[in-house]
Structure 1
Amino acid sequence: MPLLANHIAVITGAGSGIGRAIALGFAREGARVIALDVNADGAAETAKLVSDSGGTACSFPLDVTDRAACVAMAKRIADAIGPVSILVNNAGIARRNGMTGAADAVVKDWEDVIAINLTGVFNVTHAFLGSLRANKGRIVNIGSIQSFVHIRQPSSPAYTASKHGVLGFTKALAVELGKEGVRVNAIGPGFIETPLNAATRASNPDGVRLFIEHTPLGRAGQPEDIVGPAIFLASDLSAYVTGSIVMADGGYRAV
Structure 2
Amino acid sequence: MAGLLEGHVAAVTGGGSGIGQGICQAYAREGARVIVLDINLDGAKETIGLIEAAGGAASAIALDVTDREACKAAAAEIGRGGKISILVNNAGINRRNPITGEAAAVARDWDDILSINLDGMFNVTQAFLDQLRATRGRIVNIGSIQSFVHVSWPNSAAYTTSKHGVLGFTRALAAELGKDGVRVNAIGPGLIETRINAEARARNPEMVAMVMRHTPLGRPGKPADIAGPAVFLASDMSAYVTGSIIMADGGFRTI
Contact 1:154–1:207, Cα closer than 8 Å, also in 2: no
Following TM superposition, the consecutive aligned residue runs of length 4 or more in structure 1 with deviations greater than 3 angstroms are 151-154
By how many angstroms is 1:153 displaced? 4.0
**1:8-87 → structure 2 map (5 Å cutoff):** 8-79=9-80, 81-87=81-87
Distance 1:91 1:97 in 2: 20
> Which amino acid in 2 is paired with 1:205?
P
Q: Are 1:93 and 1:196, in contact at CA under 8 Å, matched by a contact in 2?
A: no
1:239 alignment counterpart:
239
Q: CA deviation at 1:154?
A: 5.8
The answer to whether the 8 A contact 2:214-2:253 is kept is no
The residue number in structure 1 matching 2:202 is 202
Structure 2 letter corresponding to 1:42: G
CA offsets 1:34-89 (integer angstroms, 9 cap, x no match): 0010001000110111011100000111000000000000000011x211000000
**Residue identity matched to 1:129:** L
Question: Map of 1:182-201 to 2, 5 A cutoff?
Answer: 182-201=182-201
Q: Which digits, 9 at most, give the CA deviation of each residue in 1:81-106, with x for residues without a partner?
A: 21100000000000011101110000
Instruction: Name the residue aligned to 1:101.
Output: 101
Q: Percent identity?
A: 65
Partner SS state of residue 195, structure 1: coil
Distance 2:173 2:142 in 1: 14
Q: CA deviation at 1:208?
A: 0.5
The aligned length equals 254
Instruction: Structure 2: state its 5+ residue gaps.
Output: none
CA distance in 2, matches of 1:31, 1:152: 38
Q: Distance in 2 between matches of 1:12 and 1:138?
A: 14
Q: TM-score with structure 1 length normalisation?
A: 0.98
| One-letter amino acid matched to 1:97 | N
Instruction: Return the alpha-carbon distance in structure 2 between the equivalents of residues 31 and 252 of structure 1.
Output: 31
The one-letter amino acid paired with 1:128 is: F
> C-alpha root-mean-square deviation of aligned residues, in Å?
0.8
Unaligned runs of 5+ in 1: none
Q: How many Å separate the matches in 1 of 2:182 and 2:223?
A: 26
1:164 is matched with which residue?
164
| Amino acid aligned to 1:107 | A
Separation in 2, partners of 1:76, 1:48: 22
Q: TM-score, normalised by structure 2?
A: 0.98
> After the TM superposition, which residues 208-223 of structure 1 pair with which residues of structure 2 at under 5 Å, given as runs?
208-223=208-223
